[in-house]
Structure 1
């Protein structure tokens, strides 16, 4: 049920996504976020806030800096939040809360990551790649090792992972070639650089990342995402104030914790809780966007949710395995993709879309959207 205060996404844009050290490496997180925010401002009143997700940036309040850089009034505050790989989706959920509570001002929300300019962090004179996902006494695997462990845990074969990765690239290559990403992209110096037509034929040549694993090592660079640079943003308004603009009504959300040893399973309890709250069934959902950090992780979560490996609803234009994974932005990229797949493509009112992500440390974030026209 879409109430007058239901938050509705009425604009959704993203930058191209490029591999770390690639075509966007000279741009900072603020440089990436600013054009995505500007692109969502058309025909909007002055927003009440800007909320951005970010994982590994320079610190400080990136959302505030990007809001000012985008030309917003100095009275618009800005908040930067960190839920690791779920940050972009969490930012959208957070920005929607005041609207649902009755604040009728628009919000801008999304996520950004410049992996290329992420600072080196040092503690006690020693550089480290990331902060802990969990405290001492709890499992704290990095996400790559955790995905390999999940492949062993669930018996997900190399062939199955490679087949899933191949589909992601094939779908993204087709969509890019047909101009299917054009309406959502803000112009920068490049197009998406991740999708590669040759990858499906090359997947069998990639060496195992963990040959010491119990299954001989099924995770490879080919069936894993690439760390990437990019940003995505959406504009949210209350349903009563959207006028005749079509959009995606945010009808339910869920954020949950799970075993930090197997963080890739986070979407499972999140989606289950989400569907229970919404009184819906996953079979009712027309479009699913899961952050494909690793083929093994996506397959483990989807299988538990009763979704087939090749279900056409899942990342129908390719996902992070092909496009890349700008950590703090990827959850927001999923919402931009749902907007294109459903709103821009003319799906009828009432059509449902799902976005979900797994998070380091053992979390899952999920949001259910409904097309309004």
Structure 2
């Protein structure tokens, strides 16, 4: 078996739905990032050829977005593609799937990631509604059967924050900190090397300074008298992220992130935001390490309350002691949450923080996301030089 190694990682700027990238379809988001990653791994791609492209997507138009994007990027007719849907964990799940193909010896060079265009996602309609009513559009497919509650993610985040005692004040403080980190990272140029501009769109459009007094005045967004608001939640977003994974023997001395362990696990469908807790615990156990051994953690920040519930359970203090460990340059609260891409965005961020940032060989990084329907996904990576 050969260990898979991420040797290139890029993403688009992330746009809030209806704003900077509102006219860009999901395949057109993915295509330039696929092409940029292929350019980054040249001449390995010329010598070996890409074996497959695996992209996550949740609410796109259907069809095989990965194949469309691979052809549009000029990879050639012989390069296939597969599109996977594991909801908000799709991008990271796609990377784990690509890594499994390399570890099994079925591939040596894979592209993986995700893409989502909330702006152009089509409305969906039942021709024959399940309840026998009149045909009409519906908001989303079910995450679970009805008897499991099938909560929307916002209401579920509110329930998780309440169950775990995460206060509104802490949620607002975490959201403000995420935006402040993102602004500092953008100003310092720490996003520059990972970004693939789309026309005139060259930077993420959401990060801003959030005043505590403004956050405190925002009403509950999902549950009456709840603690989750528009201010401490992520926005629906547009964007794409892709990485290149190779077998360790093919990387030719290039630095990268070796995939040490990955896991997708189930949890209570009524509290889907809890999923990262068992997923992280499993990858740490499988790798024989603890969180104290990890130098960088990236969590898909769908909701501040959900992130804090997870980090509390894992013994982390992202508002204090571990502020430079967890989402050190901000996360989805500040950048945005393009559902099918976000799990890959956190791997791109790990690559920038650790590989581009010059971390020594052996440094460990962790990426994780919660998933609708009651699941969690996590990947543990190690810097190789």
Band the TM-score falls in, shorter-chain normalisation: over 0.9
Q: Which residue of 2 aligns with 1:112?
A: 115
Map 1:271-290 to 2 at 5 A.
271-290=280-299
Question: In the alignment, is the contact (CA less than 8 A) between 1:292 and 1:321 conserved in 2?
Answer: yes
Q: Which residue of 1 aligns with 2:367?
A: 355
Q: Which residue of 2 aligns with 1:10?
A: 7
Residues 200 and 319 of structure 1: CA distance in aligned 2, closer, same or farther (over 3 Å): farther
Q: Which residue of 2 aligns with 1:330?
A: 342
Q: Which whole-Å CA distance do the structure 2 matches of 1:316 and 1:82 have between them?
A: 28
Where does structure 1 lack aligned partners over 5 or more consecutive residues? none
Q: Could you give the per-residue CA deviations for residues 217-267 of structure 1, whole angstroms, max 9, x where no partner exists?
A: 211000000000000000000111101210000010011000000000000
Q: 1:217 aligns with which of 223, 226, 230?
A: 226
Map 1:235-314 to 2 at 5 A.
235-310=244-319, 311=322, 312-314=324-326
Residues 142 and 211 of structure 1: CA distance in aligned 2, closer, same or farther (over 3 Å): closer
Q: Which residue of 2 aligns with 1:72?
A: 75
Residues 47 and 308 of structure 1: CA distance in aligned 2, closer, same or farther (over 3 Å): same
Map 1:174-185 to 2 at 5 A.
174-185=184-195
Q: Which residue of 2 aligns with 1:149?
A: 159
Q: Which residue of 2 aligns with 1:135?
A: 145
Q: Which whole-Å CA distance do the structure 1 matches of 2:52 and 2:123 have between them?
A: 30
- Secondary structure at the aligned position of 1:13 is classed as strand
Where does structure 2 lack aligned partners over 5 or more consecutive residues? 130-134
- Secondary structure at the aligned position of 1:109 is classed as strand
Question: In the alignment, is the contact (CA less than 8 A) between 1:104 and 1:241 conserved in 2?
Answer: no
Question: In the alignment, is the contact (CA less than 8 A) between 2:370 and 2:377 conserved in 1?
Answer: yes
Structure 1 residue 7, shift from structure 2 partner: 0.3
- The reply to whether residue 171 of structure 1 matches residue 181 of structure 2 is yes
RMSD after superposition = 1.1
Q: Which residue of 1 aligns with 2:36?
A: 39
Question: In the alignment, is the contact (CA less than 8 A) between 1:169 and 1:199 conserved in 2?
Answer: no
Q: Which residue of 2 aligns with 1:83?
A: 86
Q: Which whole-Å CA distance do the structure 1 matches of 2:164 and 2:381 have between them?
A: 30
Structure 1 residue 330, shift from structure 2 partner: 0.1
Q: 1:321 aligns with which of 329, 333, 344?
A: 333
Q: Could you give the per-residue CA deviations for residues 175-194 of structure 1, whole angstroms, max 9, x where no partner exists?
A: 11111100000011221011
- Secondary structure at the aligned position of 2:119 is classed as helix
Structure 1 residue 211, shift from structure 2 partner: 5.6
- The reply to whether residue 207 of structure 1 matches residue 207 of structure 2 is no
Structure 1 residue 210, shift from structure 2 partner: 4.2
- Secondary structure at the aligned position of 1:117 is classed as coil
Question: In the alignment, is the contact (CA less than 8 A) between 2:176 and 2:210 conserved in 1?
Answer: no
Q: 1:227 aligns with which of 186, 211, 236?
A: 236
- Secondary structure at the aligned position of 2:147 is classed as coil
Q: Which whole-Å CA distance do the structure 2 matches of 1:93 and 1:199 have between them?
A: 38
Q: Which whole-Å CA distance do the structure 2 matches of 1:210 and 1:315 have between them?
A: 25
